[in-house]
Every structure is written in structure tokens, then in C-alpha cells.
Chains A and B, each alone.
Chain A
Amino acid sequence: MNSADGTPAPAILSANRISKSFGEIPVLFSIDFDIKPGEVHAIIGENGAGKSTLIKILSGIEQPTSGTITYDGQTVTLPPDGKAEGMGIVLIHQELNLAEHLTASESIFLGREIKRFGFLDIGEMRKRAAALMDTLHVRVDPDDRISTLSVADKQMVEIAKAISRDARVLIMDEPTAVLSVGETQTLFEQIRRLTARGVAVIFISHKLDEIMELADRVTVLRDGQLIATVGTEALTPDSIAQMMVGRELSNLYPPKHEPDVDAPVVLGVRNLSAKGVRDISFDLKRGEILGFAGLIGSGRTAVAEAIVGLSHRTGGDIALDGKPVNFTQVAQSVDAGLAYMTKDRKGKGLLLNMGLRPNLTLLTLDKHIKAGFLDGSSEDRALERAVRRFDIRARDASVAVGRLSGGNQQKLMLGKTMESEPDIIIMDEPTRGIDVGTKQQIYHIIAALAAEGKSIILISSEMQEVIGLSHRVVVMREGRLTGVLEGAEITEAEIMRYAAGIKSGNDERISA
């Protein structure tokens, strides 16, 4: 906003030559970082680049090993345990820190309740919460339970909470990772309103286009080093990506190999209905990558889960290789060569407290049983293969999977899914929250699988990804299939038209 014009506005918060090591291991090397009132400053970098550590230091949760923090012109030691909030520095975590059973107003005043004669002044808190929501243009009732709110609204409650604490610096860790396009825009409006009032906003994101849109300046970290801090106007998504990974990313997406025109249909879905989705029909051909685009909550995951038997199907027919099938349990679809890879790798995909081996083989443990007992060496061989094939990097196999980076977790989950040797793979958000370098690896794996004759359904909220990889794209909106795009039609604008409901044309081309 007012920062990039060259006038030397004083920074409200700055880090000077900050280094941080955990034990023997250095994580940040002499980082300089500053933010001015009313500015949006994005931090970007691959997984493990040190972004989280930096914002933890900026919010006082971690103390730097060396270097100083200056806040409001004074060198300070920020108090740990989020107490810096009292000073006006508020960190909003990626996994929002709200108690699900409290109401919005209770959440906003949690820990600083307004009291009268020693008792809670509920009316006053409700009134102030409502006023706060009004100024933010958020339509959340102060009495709404947090558990009933959408993720986007929860985030708004967090922001309201921050503002009620007179936040002067708001730090957000990947705020848009779980938001749809529309929700992201609302969040951005909110951030712009805050910066207009002089609040400084620091945010981490993996989405380059968002950074281009919102940020005034961008700081790029790589391997704990400060690569550059640049005004956004001097950047292109490509140049940011290059700074992040330190190499050219010209071939982010592998070349597309169209499947044969007469390739057989391996998966046929007709008039599928399930909770949240209605009347879905599409075909998947051998060797094809079929993209599923749409806003978050448009029902793409529900379609996948209904097909593989994770959720109950209320109507419609599914045929595998032309033969009708009815999966009521996941095990049946896995046996039939159809595997679903969840988007929720931490909640549904991996056992975070266990090592690599039990995670890899959990889906296919039957393959590693000899005379009724588990064959550890057979499991080890499988892990060796998967580590090689998917380039999974871990210190050793016994390290708890929860300690791996997001990218390595994702590759392990891919390995686990592929252990069942499926012919059809449904990948749900296979690159969510992972760095560009790993994304590129996964894109090449997906393309290679398709080239081998596997058929892939690619559910993704990253439009570029769907466009870059898919042979055809199915677009969903509010539980309905609104369009199937092919060839030159696969453009961002066209997908948006179907996803937003401006265009709808599923009748003419159910099966292309």
C-alpha cells in the first residue's frame, strides 16, 4: 500500500540478523525482516525453508538464538506463549485455535471476559462482538457455535478476536490453504480493510497468484537463508518460484500424452447420487487424467467417496470395465483395482505417530503375511521400493510420519496408495500445502502413471494444476456436474464459468 512508494516509513516490527538453531541444527541464518504499518508482507519458501520458525520468532513463541527484534522503535524480547498478543502482535495459526463448543462471542473474549460484579457480562460481550462483526462486514451471529461455522467464518472470528485485542501486527500462517476462491476474496477484502486502518499483516502462502494480488512486499526464504525481499510489482509468479527453488521451473507440468481415441472406458458413472451430490455421470478412459474442478464444497470429494464405498450411495450405477459394481466397503474397491487417495493426509491418510513402514503397508497388509504372520522383511523391501520410486526423504524409517515435511508425507501416501497396484487412482488434492519442487515431482509421477495406462481422476482446487495435467476436466458446482471440458476449452476462464454457475451444459456431453 504505502510502503512501496519509497518513502522511508518506519517499520513497526523488525527482525535484525535473526538466527535460530534447535540444538545443533541451524534453521535460520541471519535473517533481516521488517514490516511497516498498513503493509502486507508475504513470506514464501519451500517446506522446511524456515517460514514457520520465522513467524514464531516474530510472535514471541520462539526466541532467536542470536539477533534482535525491534518493535515500535524499541529493542524488545517478546514474551513467549502468545503473550505478545497483549502487545498487539497476534498470530493466527493455520489450524485455527478456537474451542469448537463456544459461541463466537465467547471465543472473541476468551481469556479477557468482560465482568460486572465478578460475573460475566454476557450482554455486553455479545453487543461488542456484534459491533465488531459489523465493522468487519462478517455475517456471523455472536451466539453462533464455532462448530457450526465454515472454516472461512472461523477465520473471520479469529480476525475479529485479533482486532478486539487492538492487533497492530497480524501474522497469518497459510490462511487461504483451506479456503475456496470466493472465501479467499472475502478474506483479502478483510485484510485490505485492516491495512487501511494501519494494521501490518504478515502472511505465509504457497499460492503465488494470491501473493501477487495481495502483498506489497515478498520475502523469499530458502533453506533458512534470506534470498530476497522485493516489492511485488517487480515480480512475476515465475521469478518468485525460481527464487524459492533456486532453479528453473520451465517444465512444471510434463507434456500431455493424449490417451488413444479408442481407449476403453474403465470407469463409468451414471446418475450417481449420495449425500451432497446428485445425478453425476461421467466416463474415465484408460490412460486418461480426468480433472475434477470446482469450488471447495462443490461435492468432488463426496463423488469420490461414494464411488469407492467410503460413503453410502443413494442412487445411480457404477461400472468398472463395463461390469456393474457396488462397493459398500473400501476394501472391495481396492481389490477391484480402484484406489482413493484422501486430501486429508493428517486426519485420514497417515498414522502420524507411527513410522514409515506401517504407514506404507497399512492398506495392503495382506500382501505381507506369511503363514498368518507379518513378514517384516517383505515390508522393508516394499518401503525400499517406495522410497526409491517416490523419492521419499526421511532420516530413517522409524521416524514418526508426523515429523516429515508435507511433501514427504504426500509422497508416502502416494506410495501407500500405489502399493495396492490400482488401475484407477482417484487423487484428491494431491499437492495441497506442499512446495513447488515436490509438486513438480508429483506432477511427473501422475503423468507417468497415465502414460503407463493407469487412469487417474485428479481432484484439485488449484486451477493451474487441473489445466496443466488433465486431458479432460469435469466441473462441479453445488453437488452437480455442470460441465465437461476438453482440449482448447480447458482454460481458467471457462472452468470458472462452470464452477460459478454462469454456464452449465452437462447434458450434451456426458460421455465424450
Chain B
Amino acid sequence: MSVSAPDIPAKPKRGFRLDLKTVGPLLALALLVLLGISLNENFLSYNNLTNVLARSSFIGIIAIGATFVITAGGLDLSVGSMAAVIAGVMIMVMNWLIPTMGIGWGVVIAGMATGILLGGVAGVFNGTMITRGRIEAFIVTLGTMGIFRSLVTFLADGGTLSLNFQVADVYRPVYYAGLLGVPWPIIVFALVAIGGEVVMRYTAFGRYCAAIGSNEQVARYSSINVDNVRLLTYILQGVLVGVAVLLYVPRLGSASSTTGVLWELEAIAGVIIGGTTLKGGYGRIWGTVVGVVILGLIGNILNLQSLISPYLNGAFQGVIIILAVLLQRGRKNA
């Protein structure tokens, strides 16, 4: 039991390491921005930056949900397929409502509501199987990932589901327009991020997520309703997938079996790069935001230069993920 003595020495190093841990992702982001500026003068242009951020906002919003799930010791692999099936059903519902509601915002709003509702329902299903069914999150969401993917292929009959052109015209501004020149996806991403940060840090729910991810037994013995908190993280994840999709649909106005492919991995990568621990117990939303933006910038920078093939995008992202985790590990063992 005399563990205390050898623990003391870690102290002098600790402050320094904590700093590195907090600053790490920000530092990487700053380096990327500098690299971007030096490679291409267009990098800092308003159009380029809003474009990168708007494209990142889908993954970003999903990744914020994933931060809660992962912090509470869970995992959701189904989000990409879930996004695809939500997009497909939203389009079908809107097309189907045109005869009764006519063309206009009514149909679009009904579509949006459907998207969020569907996300919630999918989250309830994942969460219920995991908490009440006592099946591992990896397995449940691997299963639903296949189910959702297959469902959207079935609904599209192997092809593409397209939104009625006139409705699509009404809906378009939700992706392409904005407020004071800032596109809506970026605004929503920012609002979700701020909300997420506040919930994670300043509410009992956020604290409980970290407690459960850190040690489920301790949480249970501390009278926390572990199952309900877990379930809530999956519902939140589902709803946020819904939000991401309702921003995504107006971009292309269609959904197919290739919609949202690998989004789940990008979201998880963003979370991990941001400093949240994959096995749970510690999560930070702003880190996730930085992580997702880093991933988006890598692709953008590769596109803006001509030395390295942009096809290596995935390789660079992969290297960043592994580096991020290596850094995390380094702090732990030291």
C-alpha cells in the first residue's frame, strides 16, 4: 500500500506535460495553417476557409456527439450509415409530402424534423441494445452500421434517391447561404460545439459521462444511473447525426449507398486527435473541433499544392491519428 512515495517524483514534469497535452492539437493546427499560407496565397482567402469549414461541419457535428459517446466509454460505428439512411428517408418523405403540402418551406421543415427524429430513434435503438441488451457497443453499432447501409441501398433500389428539384431549390440556402456571410453549416457547427462544451464541462450529464467512462463501477456505486446516461449519449449522437444530415441534404439534394461512407472513422479520428481518450473517462469538445478542422485542412492543403498527390490525403490523416495517440500514451507512462 505504500504507493504514495514513488508517485511524488512525477510532479515537476507534470505541469509541463499538461501544457503540452492541452496545447498539442492547437499547435498542430497552427502549424498546418502556417504550412497552408506558405504553400498558396489563396489558402487564407475567405472562400477557401469557409469552404473547408463548411465541409468539415458535417463530420464536426457528428464528432461532437461521438465525443460524448466515447467519453462515456462507448463507441458508435454506425453514424456514417445512419447519416445515409436518414438522408434517404428525409428525401423520400419530402418528395412524398409535395402533393399534400405543395412546394415550400413546410415540406423542408417536415423533412428536417424527420431527420432529427430518425436520428433520435436510431440512437435509442443503439443505446437500448447496448445498455439493456448488455451487448458491447462495438458489436451493436457494427451491426446497425450494416443494417443502415443496407437499408439505404434498398430504399434507393441500388441507385440514387433525388430530392424534387423545386424543393431542392427552396432547401439550397440552408447549405449555401448564411448569416453575415458565414454559411449556415458553420454557424450550426459553432453553436453545437459551444453547447457541447458547456454540457460536457458544466452539467452533471457531462461529469457523469466522464465518470462512467473512467470507471463504470465507481459510477454505479455513486448512485449514477449508468444505463440512462449511456443511453442518452447514443440518443444525443443520433440527434446530432440528424442535424448534420439536414445540413448535408441541400448540398447535393440526393442520397445513395455511398453517402456518408467512412464518416464514422473520420468522426472518431477527429475525437482522438482532439485529445479525448478512446477508452473513455476524459473528453473535450473543443479538442474535437480542432481535430476535425485539422483533418479538413490536410485535405485542403494537399489540394492547394502540386508537390504531393492529393490521393495521399488518407495517409496523412492516418499518420496524424497515430501521432496523436502516441503523444497521449507518452504522457500516461511518464
Interface set of A (CB-CB < 8 Å, partner B): 21-25, 27, 45, 47-53, 56, 62, 94, 174, 177, 204, 206, 224, 310, 329-331, 333-334, 340, 342, 344, 347-354, 358, 362-363, 365-366, 369, 372-374, 395, 403-406, 408, 416, 433-435
| Interchain CB contact under 8 A, B9 and A53 | no
CB distance from B113 to the nearest CB of A (A): 25
| Interchain CB contact under 8 A, A174 and B5 | no
Residues on the A chain within 8 Å of B7, using CB: 403
A329 to B12, CA, bound (A): 43
Chain A minimum-CB-distance residue to B198: A373
CB distance from A177 to the nearest CB of B (A): 8
Residues on the B chain within 8 Å of A25, using CB: 8-9, 11
Please count how many residues in chain B sit with their CB below 8 Å of the partner chain's CB atoms: 35
Residues on the B chain within 8 Å of A352, using CB: 214-215
| Interchain CB contact under 8 A, A348 and B1 | no
| Interchain CB contact under 8 A, B218 and A349 | yes
Chain B minimum-CB-distance residue to A400: B7
Residues on the A chain within 8 Å of B3, using CB: 47, 52, 405-406
Which of B1, B201, B214, B222 meets A353, CB within 8 Å? B214
| Interchain CB contact under 8 A, B223 and A334 | yes
Chain B minimum-CB-distance residue to A223: B5
A335 to B64, CA, bound (A): 33
User: Most chain-A CB neighbours within 10 Å: which of B1, B202, B204, B282?
Assistant: B1
CB distance from B309 to the nearest CB of A (A): 42
CB distance from B296 to the nearest CB of A (A): 31
| Interchain CB contact under 8 A, A342 and B221 | yes
User: Most chain-A CB neighbours within 10 Å: which of B201, B218, B220, B281?
Assistant: B218
A-B contact pairs, 20 of them (CB 8 A): A22-B8, A23-B11, A24-B12, A47-B3, A53-B6, A310-B221, A330-B223, A331-B225, A334-B223, A348-B217, A348-B220, A351-B218, A358-B207, A358-B210, A362-B224, A366-B204, A372-B203, A403-B4, A405-B3, A416-B222
A174 to B1, CA, bound (A): 8
A225 to B100, CA, bound (A): 87
| Interchain CB contact under 8 A, B2 and A51 | yes
Known: A22-B9, A52-B5, A310-B221. 10 other contacts (CB 8 A): A23-B11, A23-B12, A47-B1, A50-B5, A51-B2, A174-B1, A333-B223, A365-B204, A406-B4, A434-B1
Residues on the A chain within 8 Å of B12, using CB: 23-24
| Interchain CB contact under 8 A, B221 and A349 | yes
CB distance from B6 to the nearest CB of A (A): 6
CB distance from B78 to the nearest CB of A (A): 28
| Interchain CB contact under 8 A, A373 and B203 | yes
Is B211 an interface residue when CB atoms closer than 8 A count as contact?
A: yes
CB distance from A321 to the nearest CB of B (A): 20
8 Å CB interface, B1-27 against A = 1-13
Which 9 A-B residue pairs are closest in the complex by CB-CB distance? A22-B9, A405-B4, A330-B223, A331-B223, A23-B9, A48-B4, A52-B2, A433-B1, A403-B7
A94 to B203, CA, bound (A): 38
A352 to B213, CA, bound (A): 12
